[in-house]
Amino acid sequence: MWNRRLTLTILLALLLTIVPVHAQDAGGGGTLIGAFDVGPGGAPKAIPFMDTAGRTWLSKIWSPLISWNADMSALEPQLATEWSSNEDSTVWTFKLREGVLWHDGETFDADDVVFSLNLALNPDAATNFPGFSSLSRESVASITAVDPYTVEIVLNSPNPRLPFFMIFAWVLPEHALKDLNPADYQTTDWFFTNPIGTGPFMHDEYVADQFWALVPNPNYFRGAPKLDRLINRYFADETSALLALESGEINFTYVSGDVALRLQEEGTYQIYDGPSGVTNYFIFNLRNPVFQDVRVRQAFLYAIDRKAIAETVLKGTATVVPCISAFPSMWPDASELNDYAYDPAKASELLQEAGYDTSASFELMTYYNNQFHLDAMAAQQAFLAAVGINIVPVAQDVPTYNSYFYTGEGWDISYRGVGVNVGNFPFSFYEPGGQPTTDGAPLAGQLFPELQALIDAARIESDADAYLGLLQDICKFQNENALEGYMWTAVRFGAGTSNLQDFYWFPAAGGGPYEDHAELWSVTE
Amino acid sequence: MTDATRTPSSAAQGVTQLDVHDRPQKNRALRRFMRHRLAILAVIVLAVIAATSILAPVFAPYPYDKIDLAATAQPPSVAHLFGTDRVGRDILTRTLYGGQVSLLVGMGATAIATLIGTVIGALSGYYRGWVDTVLMRITDTVMTFPSIVIMLTLAALLPRSVWNIVLIIGLLSWPGVARLVRAQFMSLRESEFVMAARCLGVPDRRIIVVHIFPNVLAPMIALITFSVGGAILTEAGLSFLGLGVAPPTPSWGNMLEAARNLDILKNLTWTWFPPAAMTVLTVLCVNFVGDGIRDAIDPRLVL
Amino acid sequence: MLKYLVRRILISAPVLLMITIIIFGLTEIAPGDVVDYFRSPDLEMTAEAEAALRTRFGLDQPAAVRYFKWLGNVARGDFGYRFTDGEPVAVVIGRRLNASLLLMGTALAIGVLVGVPLGVFIGQRQYSFWDFSLTGFSFLGISTPSFVTGIVALLVFAINLRWFPAGGMRPVDSEATLGSTIHHLLLPSIVLSLNFIATFMRYTRFSMLEVVRLDYVNTARAKGLSPTAVTWRHIVPNAILPVITVIGLSVPTLVVGAVFTETIFSWPGMGSLYLDAVRGRDVPLLMGMNLVIALFVLGANILTDVAYAVVDPRIRYD
């Protein structure tokens, strides 16, 4: 009898150890566990500093010279405090923040910046420093440290938007990495075992495939963070992360629009939202003469009730855009724009005028495979079918998609998304030769000299207002000619537990980096 | 779907001899099958599922890709018996049409598997020797190499059409059939009527097709039935990973894929429950039928 | 026996080689490569940067050269580095294999420990209430997609009841302990084991029913042995023979992992890694994984044969 009771007690004790005890370290700002990465999509896709996404997390460890501000409306000083250029934007001077310490206590200075930027341009390192590597190496004449806190970049051709390129270039410690052969960056484990940065948090523990834990950097230049620990947990997909949020295991994750609306109704979570800055649109393969006819392209816009799709299928989490730019500041006045309101009769009329063959069928190629876009495409297909345009959605995985898309072969229309902001306008999409492998494909710039002229002017315009005016002119041109099938830009959401204090998140494309004052974040009991 | 653990089903087969010319025995098998009440019920249910799927254009209240933005995500009602999805498509309609695709994949893939398996098994069992060694090495490799691995690779690399899915599943599920056919052939080739035919100088091809093959049919039917169920589950699994039949063509698998979205899973139950229930019900019935056939021809046959 | 083993191993070598060639061929035919995978739709990549990346991964060389280079390196024990994140392939596979073996091994163990005894149990009670209900369960088990079971289990036991964590392998805010590992392991392995239980139970039942009819069982009974002794000494050992083959055939799936369950439970195993490798066109990882999987499969086949011979003295391999 006694024996049995003992067994029972032991069993109970065992059970108790299995049931999770949510104990948080007393004092300090607590532990914040989030699914920060890539919206969320598992562990880092590449060596962190070469990654094209997940920069919200990387900015906790490393800092760039300049980042976006909180809502991506302007630039925010990080390791650089001031920057300026000469008249024609060929010589740029960056003043650096003084007294910044690396996580290991060494002093940060201009040599680190020169080292990092040269590394980003080094073909042996084969970095795909997004944005920054699109500065072709030929366009940079020199990068020099004028004094310990001044860096000068001399360009071979004018680039008024150079500071925007700096957003993507993390500054790495020269003292720790100078002996590493550039070709070995691809395979080094330094970034996961012993990374040193200037960001608000320092490396603590990285468990591959599972999580990355950081501890506060007491020397952070905006002040020591309040949190005791900041952890990024990796999930296979959005659903798994959401399950963890709802079971109370994590404090924050990115969520899709429908989930955000539901969580908002439940009222137990803090919802963070902001514009994605990504425009979803159809790009027509202009190699096909059918799409060179403006009436056919316009018919696509008239035929699809974009507003209805945005409001019902996308539940009002998306707004219709007039052109490739997602931000209204880049649009001209509404009176100058055609809103292409839903008008199937007009669409049919335009198709008839153009002599469109309604027996034709086109593949609508996409890389999207989430429910949001699948639903949207089902609706687009149905609307187009109603006016006699037959499209068949075809979802490809990313490498397949890109190998077709960039060669211009094997697709007719593509439904895709592109992040467009003031500092990073995808001019090259419209220029011959801008896309490396589009050998001789008739791109918009060739077909439309007027557009090419606007692009040429915008590229070198150094006055911010005049530049914005040119972007608006481009928008007007795109809208008038239905150059592409502009659909909508969505709002993106994050959901956090109610005990998060002063937490901030913004759905910047690729994760920013933007200023989120992570040093102020805390979690209450 | 067994998460890559579809156990090859002909692990240890007994060998059956069934002469097709032996009428009474065949009738006995039929009688035995009819006694298997669950299997009869399953045949009836399957017939109803197949009929409604094939006649979907007649029964379905709407076209399967007809959207209705005024009635999105509606729970079941009179207008939409099973409700609508998030673009206002009728779930009942899509479930009916989805049955077409799922059954097509199930039967198409099995047909391919049967064809390949029969040819390889027959050659291997009839000629034996080095032909047998080579073909059985290949069979063992395909059988034991986790087919889900190759399937994932192929499904990711080929366009997501119905026929590609049929082909991929079919090309990887023939070893079971091959092993069964081989075992049958090996024993039948030594039987008296085959010996007699050979003595009369009947050519090999004729012996294989006319004399031996009809006798192999019965045990094959049971195995084939089971593999239809397996193929339907495999399609559902591939769809769940976004590698199956591409929407907007509905299949039960890709309708179920939507349930990966937690919001749909929890709040739009009616959109994924019908395809889930139909998948389970169909595969269950197929398995009952297979069980019934096996019991009828030879209960000792382990499939 | 030894001769047989050596012959089996020798025959396996060309099979292995064929598998690597087929997989390499598939990655060659596949549209797109890792550089296409890296290309972000938002950002421009100069032709120079693109070419540099291709050179970096050795993709500028002919396929045959790359294959033989890979083969040569593997022969020296060097599996290379992952394209996508530069981690040594051997390290990634080692880590993921551990996770998969833990999950699938537990599921298989539960499957054997529950499925076989249940099979023995109902095998003695043909057409009883237990036979019908457990056979019914078994049919349901093999007819239900595991991702459906997985999602439902997660919804009920992790979200609504909060008995188990909603995925992952260990807690992130404290050290991993034996208790925490079991806690994370339990739900996914039970979900996975349902299928094993159903399969093993069915096979054991069939096998039991078959053996019960055999002459020597009658002889044993006639000798006046007690029913228990007949069951456990004469029926069960013989009935389990074919089941061993079935269990052996399940072993390879341990290495591949459980693609769906791993995805749903964020379990960092081989299944989800394989998906990542295909999606990222991560050739060194893909080749390495297939080689490891093939080795396991062939090894498991040989072991199954050996186990069979050990259990059943009637079988001799020469």
* pLDDT band at A12; cut points 50, 70, 90: very low
Mean pLDDT of A410-434: 78
Higher pLDDT: B18 or A484? It is A484
Q: In whole angstroms, give the CA distance from residue A312 to residue A315.
A: 5
Nearest CB partner across the interface for B67, out of A242, A379, A395: A379
**DSSP assigned state of B248:** T
Phi, psi of A17, rounded to the nearest 5 degrees: -70, -25
List the alpha helices (DSSP H) in B36-87: 37-54, 56-59
Query: What ipTM, to 2 d.p.?
Result: 0.84
**DSSP assigned state of A178:** T
Cβ atoms of residues C270 and C100 within 8 Å: yes
pLDDT above 70 for A267: yes
Chain C CB contacts of A400 under 8 Å are 30-32, 36
For residue range B68-111, what is the model confidence (pLDDT) as tens digits?
888 888 999 998 999 999 889 999 999 999 999 999 999 999 99
CATH T-level assignment (fold) for domain C89-311: MetI-like fold (1.10.3720)
Report in angstroms the alpha-carbon separations of B124 from A326, A394, B9, B118, C7: 64, 41, 19, 10, 20
Chain C CB contacts of A497 under 8 Å are none
Q: What is the pLDDT at residue B294? A: 78
pLDDT above 70 for B4: no
pLDDT above 80 for A180: yes
- Chain CA centroid to CA A337, Å: 27
Both tokens of C27, joined, read 């990655």
Tell which residue, C165, C8, C209, has the closest CA to residue A247: C165
* pLDDT band at B266; cut points 50, 70, 90: confident
Q: In whole angstroms, give the CA distance from residue A67 to residue A69.
A: 6
Q: How many CB atoms lie within 10 A of CB A308?
A: 15
Mean pLDDT of A134-150: 85
Chain B CB contacts of C144 under 8 Å are 280, 283
- Residue C168 contacts A, CB cutoff 8 Å: yes
Q: Which residues contact C253 (CB under 8 A, 6 or more apart)?
A: B3, B4, B5, B146, C104
Nearest-CA distance B157 → chain A (Å): 8
Q: What is the pLDDT at residue C16? A: 84
- Residue A401 contacts C, CB cutoff 8 Å: yes
Q: In whole angstroms, give the CA distance from residue A393 to residue A390.
A: 10
Q: What is the pLDDT at residue C15? A: 79
Cβ atoms of residues A494 and A36 within 8 Å: no
User: Among A399-413, A421-435, B54-68, C146-160, where is mean pLDDT lowest?
Assistant: A421-435
Q: What is the pLDDT at residue A518? A: 95
pLDDT above 50 for A48: yes
Mark out chain B residues that contact chain A at CB-CB < 8 A: 65-67, 69-70, 72, 85-89, 156-157, 159-160, 242, 246-248, 258, 260-265, 267
For residue range A65-75, what is the model confidence (pLDDT) as tens digits?
999 999 888 99
Cβ atoms of residues B69 and A312 within 8 Å: yes
| Three-state SS letters, A90-106 | CEEEEEECCCCECCCCC
How does the average pLDDT of chain A come out, rounded? 85
Chain A CB contacts of C93 under 8 Å are none
pLDDT above 60 for A435: no
Q: What is the pLDDT at residue B69? A: 86
Higher pLDDT: A339 or B258? It is A339
> Helix or strand or coil: residue A500?
strand
Peptide bond into C62 cis (omega under 30): no
Q: How many CB atoms lie within 10 A of CB A448?
A: 18
Question: In terms of CA atoms, which chain C residue is nearest residue A211?
Answer: C172
- Chain CA centroid to CA B269, Å: 27
Chains touching chain B through at least 3 C-beta pairs below 8 angstroms are: A, C
Nearest-CA distance A463 → chain B (Å): 45
Q: What is the pLDDT at residue B254? A: 86
- Extract the residue ranges of chain C whose pLDDT is less than 50: 318
Q: What is the pLDDT at residue A301? A: 96
- Are C48 and A31 an interchain contact pair (Cβ–Cβ within 8 Å)? no
pLDDT above 90 for A320: yes
Question: In terms of CA atoms, which chain C residue is nearest residue B8?
Answer: C249
Mean pLDDT of B138-161: 74
Cβ atoms of residues B16 and B298 within 8 Å: yes
- Are C44 and A418 an interchain contact pair (Cβ–Cβ within 8 Å)? no
Percent of chain A with pLDDT over 90: 49
Q: In whole angstroms, give the CA distance from residue A430 to residue A445.
A: 5
Phi, psi of A247, rounded to the nearest 5 degrees: -95, 10
As a CATH number, domain B35-188+218-297 is 1.10.3720.10
- Residue C246 contacts B, CB cutoff 8 Å: yes
- Residue C167 contacts B, CB cutoff 8 Å: no
Higher pLDDT: A389 or A234? It is A389
pLDDT above 90 for A332: yes
Chain A CB contacts of C33 under 8 Å are 399, 403
What sign has the CA pseudo-torsion C138, C142, C143, C147? Answer: positive
Question: In terms of CA atoms, which chain C residue is nearest residue A229?
Answer: C173
- The pairing of strands A413-419 and A361-366 is parallel
Cβ atoms of residues C110 and C197 within 8 Å: yes
Cβ atoms of residues C257 and C100 within 8 Å: yes
Tell which residue, C12, C54, C15, C52, has the closest CA to residue C32: C54
- When mean pLDDT is compared over A187-196, A220-229, A430-439, B201-210, the highest value belongs to A220-229
- Residue C215 contacts A, CB cutoff 8 Å: no
Q: In whole angstroms, give the CA distance from residue A331 to residue A323.
A: 8
pLDDT above 80 for B218: no
Residue with tokens 């959901």: A495
pLDDT above 70 for A23: no
Tell which residue, B30, B253, B217, B237, has the closest CA to residue B114: B217
How does the average pLDDT of chain B come out, rounded? 81
Mean pLDDT of A401-418: 85
Report in angstroms the alpha-carbon separations of A346 from A295, A336, A340: 10, 20, 10
Torsion of Cα atoms, A453 then A458 then A463 then A464, to 10°: 140
Instruction: Please report, for chain B, the start and end positions of each structural domain, with discontinuous segments joined by +.
Output: 35-188+218-297
Return residues 40-79 of A near C (CB < 8 Å): 42-47, 52-53
Chain C CB contacts of A235 under 8 Å are 167, 266
Interface with chain B: mutation pick from C33, C144, C245, C259, highest number of B CBs within 10 Å: C259
For residue range B17-46, what is the model confidence (pLDDT) as tens digits?
444 444 555 666 677 776 678 888 999 999
Cβ atoms of residues B93 and B56 within 8 Å: yes
Report in angstroms the alpha-carbon separations of C86 from A437, A467, C30, C80: 26, 41, 22, 9
Mean pLDDT of A53-81: 92
Tell which residue, B64, B70, B168, B186, has the closest CA to residue B125: B186
Q: In whole angstroms, give the CA distance from residue A238 to residue A256.
A: 8
Cβ atoms of residues A483 and A298 within 8 Å: no
Return residues 115-134 of C near B (CB < 8 Å): none
DSSP A84-148: EE-TTS-EEEEEEPSS-B-TTSPBP-HHHHHHHHHHHH-TTTT---TTGGGS-GGGEEEEEEEET
Nearest CB partner across the interface for C45, out of A128, A213, A367: A128
Q: In whole angstroms, give the CA distance from residue C268 to residue C270.
A: 7
Instruction: Please report, for chain C, the start and end positions of each structural domain, with discontinuous segments joined by +.
Output: 2-75, 89-311
- Are C183 and A209 an interchain contact pair (Cβ–Cβ within 8 Å)? no
Question: In terms of CA atoms, which chain C residue is nearest residue A32?
Answer: C173
Question: In terms of CA atoms, which chain A residue is nearest residue C282?
Answer: A399
pTM score: 0.84
- Are A236 and C87 an interchain contact pair (Cβ–Cβ within 8 Å)? no
- Are C44 and A20 an interchain contact pair (Cβ–Cβ within 8 Å)? no
- Are C147 and B156 an interchain contact pair (Cβ–Cβ within 8 Å)? no
Q: What is the pLDDT at residue C266? A: 84
Q: What is the pLDDT at residue C78? A: 93
> Helix or strand or coil: residue B160?
coil
Chain C CB contacts of B302 under 8 Å are 203, 206-207, 242
pLDDT above 80 for A441: no
- Are A510 and C40 an interchain contact pair (Cβ–Cβ within 8 Å)? yes
Nearest-CA distance C212 → chain B (Å): 12
Q: Cβ-count burial of A34 within 10 angstroms (0-12 exposed, 13-18 middle, 19+ buried)?
A: buried
- Are A243 and C158 an interchain contact pair (Cβ–Cβ within 8 Å)? yes
Percent of chain A with pLDDT over 70: 86
Q: What is the pLDDT at residue C236? A: 83
Q: Cβ-count burial of B48 within 10 angstroms (0-12 exposed, 13-18 middle, 19+ buried)?
A: exposed
pLDDT above 80 for A3: no
pLDDT above 80 for A115: yes
Chain C CB contacts of B256 under 8 Å are 145, 147-148
Between the two ends of chain C, the Cα-to-Cα distance in Å is 6
Q: What is the pLDDT at residue B91? A: 94
pLDDT above 70 for A148: yes
Interface with chain A: mutation pick from C173, C174, C187, highest number of A CBs within 10 Å: C173
Torsion of Cα atoms, A12 then A16 then A17 then A22, to 10°: 180
For residue range B107-138, what is the model confidence (pLDDT) as tens digits?
999 999 999 999 999 999 888 888 888 888 78
* pLDDT band at A13; cut points 50, 70, 90: very low
Q: What is the pLDDT at residue A209? A: 83
* pLDDT band at A282; cut points 50, 70, 90: very high
pLDDT above 50 for A433: no
Chain A CB contacts of C95 under 8 Å are 208-209
Residue with tokens 């390192």: A125
Q: How many CB atoms lie within 10 A of CB B32?
A: 16
- Are B87 and A239 an interchain contact pair (Cβ–Cβ within 8 Å)? no
